[in-house]
């Protein structure tokens, strides 16, 4: 089992997806989940619509400084598969995967042979392209609906499984 941080290891919500949260996460040996979208030809770290001054994906990988910690990339815009693949290759970072993209856009990641996770949740009971996905992002928006059996079934299909912690949806 691996534990990763969510938008970095932040102490206060305004630190999410900021450099100090990523430094803290990586310095403690944790990988992270973060959000990537494109702005004017650049890949930036931003959960919501960018307002300017966002950290770039290059900047995030510079902070990582060669540590091959896991990066879960929440895809926030279509059409970034090749740009993401090239950016990670340029840094020699191999421990990363994408998830949460629009289903039609997921095809481009699979074609580019990017490690791709499909989502299985209480509102998405059928993961898209499960047979081609490397893993599953297992989420419970309104409840912890899944069981050990669900996880076991996915593992028996040779799928990696990321279980989303319930406090991310306001549940303890």
CA-derived radius of gyration, the chain: 16
pTM given for the model: 0.94
So what's the pLDDT on residue 143? 87
Q: Tell me the DSSP string of 29-45.
A: T--EEEEEEEETTEEEE
CA-wise closest residue to 134 among 88, 166, 94: 94
Return averaged pLDDT per consecutive 10 residues of the chain, 172 residues in all.
92 96 98 97 96 97 95 98 98 98 98 98 95 96 91 97 77 60
Domains of the chain with bracketed CATH: 1-115 (3.20.20.190), 117-166 (no CATH)
State whether residue 51 is helix, strand or coil.
Answer: coil
């Amino acid at each position: 089992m691996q534990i990763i941080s969510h938008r970095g290891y932040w102490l206060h919500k305004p630190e999410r997806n900021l450099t100090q949260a990523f430094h803290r996460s990586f310095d403690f040996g944790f990988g992270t989940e973060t959000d990537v979208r494109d702005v004017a030809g650049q890949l930036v770290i931003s959960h919501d619509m960018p307002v300017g001054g966002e950290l770039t994906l290059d900047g995030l990988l510079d902070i990582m400084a060669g540590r091959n910690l896991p990066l879960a990339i929440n895809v926030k815009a279509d059409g970034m598969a090749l740009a993401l693949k090239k950016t990670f290759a340029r840094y020699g970072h191999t421990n990363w995967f994408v998830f949460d993209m629009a289903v039609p856009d997921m095809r481009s990641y699979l074609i580019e042979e990017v490690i791709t996770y499909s989502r299985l949740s209480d509102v998405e009971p059928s993961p898209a392209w499960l047979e081609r996905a490397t893993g599953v992002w297992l989420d419970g928006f309104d409840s912890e609906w899944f069981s050990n059996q669900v996880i076991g079934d996915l593992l028996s299909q040779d799928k990696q499984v990321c279980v989303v912690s319930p406090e991310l949806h306001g549940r303890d």
